[in-house]
Amino acid sequence: MPACRTFLKHCLVRPFWTQKLSRLSPPERKALAPRTLNVFSLLTTARVKLARTYGEILPSSFGGVFALAPAGRTAFVDIGSGDGKLLVAAADKFEAVVGIEKYRDRVATSKQNLQSLPEEHRRRVTLIEADCNDEDLSESLVAFTHGWQLLLFCNNVAFPAGLNKRLAGNVLRLMQVWPQNVCMVSALPLDTLASFFVQEVPFHTSWGTLHVGNVYTSSTVPQVSIAS
């Protein structure tokens, strides 16, 4: 029974993909029966795989995302752009499109998918191989988006709380210094941006449910100088 309670505490009370075996104390690890420990190790491995394969927003919902773009010239930015399907669709709607993706193999897949575009549309797309939370978004984007208004999208469904907090802080800093309006669309809420929430938006998803995303805008964010 103690082993079962420990297993439930660390695997089921919180989503298992946010747990790590290293969080268990030595006595807790010893208390786990070998079979339970093997199951836990499998779940830990699944957590890593889930971070890369947790599902997608379906193309039928892309139009709803694009419709949220501020009026006027707007650049589209996909944070965690994956295999680039959203970038391909966005290149038909926006004159400047940026995908930020940390995994090299996915960047390579994106480049392959972008080959399906006419050359004129392909030239609109810039891929940045980086972790968005290691980047100053204002510096990363200024060269590729011409200082236009921004529509940012992030499918952050599998992000742990700490990562979502860093993402929200990064987007808030961008909103504060960007000379034009910034609209942020996220699959899960970003608490740091709660004051700038404007509406919800429905997504059709590959995991088979209608998901409700969140929209934030910088139109009410106090501006600060980039130098500060």
Using an 8 Å Cβ cutoff, are 187 and 80 in contact? no
Give, in words, the CATH class of 59-220.
alpha beta
Cβ atoms 192, 201 nearer than 8 A: no
CA distances (Å), origin 96, targets 93, 153, 211:
9, 14, 27
Residue 192 corresponds to which amino acid? T
Running DSSP on this structure, what letter comes out for residue 228? -
How many Å apart are CA 179 and CA 224, to the nearest integer?
10
The C-alpha atoms of residue 141 and residue 135 are separated, in whole angstroms, by: 10
Q: Would the pLDDT of 5 be above 50?
A: no
Which of the residue ranges 34-38, 69-73, 119-123, 180-184 would you say has the lowest mean pLDDT? Answer: 34-38
Nearest-Å Rg of the Cα atoms of the chain is 20
Per-position b or e across 13-36, b if 16+ CB within 10 A of its CB: eeebbbbeeeebeeeeeebbeeee
pLDDT digits (tens, 9 = 90+) for 19-45: 444 455 555 555 554 444 454 444 444
Kindly indicate the confidence band of residue 55, based on its pLDDT and cuts at 50, 70 and 90.
Answer: confident
- Say what the pLDDT of residue 28 is: 55
**Helix ranges restricted to H, the chain:** 2-11, 26-31, 34-53, 62-66, 85-90, 104-114, 119-122, 137-145, 161-177
Is the pLDDT at 51 greater than 50, yes or no? Answer: no
- Residue ranges of the domains in the chain? 2-53, 59-220
pLDDT single digits (tens) 81-115: 999 999 999 999 999 999 999 999 999 999 999 99
For residues 168 and 191, the answer to whether their CB atoms sit within 8 Å is yes
Give per-residue burial for 143-166: e unless 16+ CB within 10 Å, then b. ebbeebbbbbbbbbbbbeeebbeb
Q: What is the mean pLDDT of residues 110-123?
A: 96
- CA distances to 3, 41, 46 from 7, rounded to whole Å, are 6, 11, 16
Global pTM value = 0.75
Better pLDDT: 5 or 201: 201
Give the chain's length: 228
Q: pLDDT at position 134, please?
A: 82
- Phi, psi (rounded to 5 degrees) for 84: 85, 10
